[in-house]
Amino acid sequence: DALQGGYVPGLIGQMAESADMAALNELLGGAAPFAADAFEAVKEIAAMLNDLLARGGLDGMLDTVALILVALVLGGIMETCGFLEVLLERLLQKVKSLFGLVGAVVFSCIFTNLFLGDQYLALVMPGRLFRPAFDDYEKDGRKVDARLLSRTLEDSGTLTSVLVPWNTCGAYNSGVLGVPTLSYLPYAFLNYLNPLVALVMTRLGIGIPWLQKNGETEAAG
């Protein structure tokens, strides 16, 4: 009657209608152990969340938040006054090769993380300063793709920020995890080896994106 009235049953309804009721009862009967396991997992997760969240809230993180705010203010003052840009511009004047450009970006990002104490400044300032140099660099009639600059900023600026105790990232991770930055630093292989890998790959000419004459990017070699 329902079909004659224009009603079309859904997929779930068709499955339920054609299901073997005996098999369905067996399936539902075996669901109790699964439900118990699921609730036990929920209890374990709830306990872990309780340990994570019951650390004093904002009051418990006040020292870390204060350090982050001071680092942001100091970095903003130094950027506005142009202290770091003067040093980086002098460094840029001595760079003649692509390896030198990548090395200068790596050094600048790590230097900025150390002295300005903020990851975003370590990405924005060197990226803004070195972008024209990457755009103008040319070898054998080919120009390097700006993606190399972006990748180098991530390799050095992003990954080394958590290794500096007074950096905003290092202070945040230390406060949330409850582990001093210098305690996990020896085991953060990815963070301090990645800048070295970026330099080695550039020196060997591996993975460097070049722009073709039509503006498309060649496959990195």
pLDDT cut 70: percent of the chain above it: 64
Nearest by Cα to 101 from 142, 140, 131: 131
- Verdict on whether the full-model pTM lies above 0.85: no
Phi/psi class of residue 138: alpha, beta or left (left: φ > 0; alpha: ψ in -120 to 50)?
beta
- Specify the pLDDT at position 7: 43
Q: Could you give the strand order of the β-sheet that contains 210-211, starting from the edge strand earlier in sequence?
A: 138-139, 142-144, 210-211
Domain positions in the chain are 11-51, 59-211
Task: Record the tokens describing residue 53, joined without a space.
Answer: 């969240």
At 67-110, the pLDDT tens digits run: 667 766 776 777 678 776 777 777 777 888 899 999 999 998 99
CB burial string 167-178: b at 16+ within 10 A, e below: bbbbbbbbbeee
At 107-165, the pLDDT tens digits run: 989 998 998 888 888 888 888 888 888 888 888 778 899 899 999 999 999 999 999 99
- Specify the pLDDT at position 161: 92
Task: Record the tokens describing residue 220, joined without a space.
Answer: 């990195």
